[in-house]
Amino acid sequence: MPNKGSAPLTTDLLAGQVTMSFDSITPVIQHIKAGKLRALAVSTRTRSSLLPDVPTLEEAGLKGFDIETWYGVLAPASTPPAIVARLNTEMLRIIKSPEFVQRMKEAGCEPLGSSAAEMAKRIADETAKFARIVKDGKVAIE
C-alpha cells in the first residue's frame, strides 16, 4: 500500500492497517524500543549500533541489500574551495561533538561526517547503484 511518508506509515503500522514496511530507523526507533513495533532486519550491509540484535537482510537470507538513509550538505558548484573547506571543518567539529552525537543517536541517527571529496564519491556511487536498480528492474515513471 503506498503511503505519503514515514509519519502516516508509522501510524498505519501501529494501527495494524499495514503489516510490514521498509523505512528508516529514525521515525520508528522509539516504537521499536517501546515494544510497539518489531524490527525484522536492517537493509544496511552491517548491523545498526542502535539495534545491535536486529540482523541485516543479508543475515536474514536476502542477499545483496545495502541501502541506507543518509544526509549531506551541498553548496553551489561555484563555491570557492576555501569556503567549502571551512564549512566542512566547522560541520565536522559540530558532527563530532558529544552533544551532537548524543542528540542524533536519540533521534535514531548515526552521525559520520566526511570530506567534500568523500561526499562527492558517495553521491556518485549511490547514483550509479540506483540507476542500475532502475534499469535492471525496468522501472518506469508513471
pLDDT digits (tens, 9 = 90+) for 52-84: 999 999 999 998 888 888 889 999 999 999 999
- Rounded to an integer, the average pLDDT of 108-134 is 91
With beta carbons less than 8 A apart as the criterion, state whether 33 and 114 touch. no
Residue ranges of domains in the chain = 81-136
Model pLDDT for residues 17-30, shown as the tens digit of each residue: 999 998 888 889 89
Rg (alpha carbons) of the chain, rounded to whole number = 18
- Residue 50's pLDDT is what? 86
Pairs from 30-36 (Cβ < 8 Å, separation ≥ 24): 30/108
- Residue 20's pLDDT is what? 92
What percent of the chain clears pLDDT 90, i.e. is strictly above it?
67
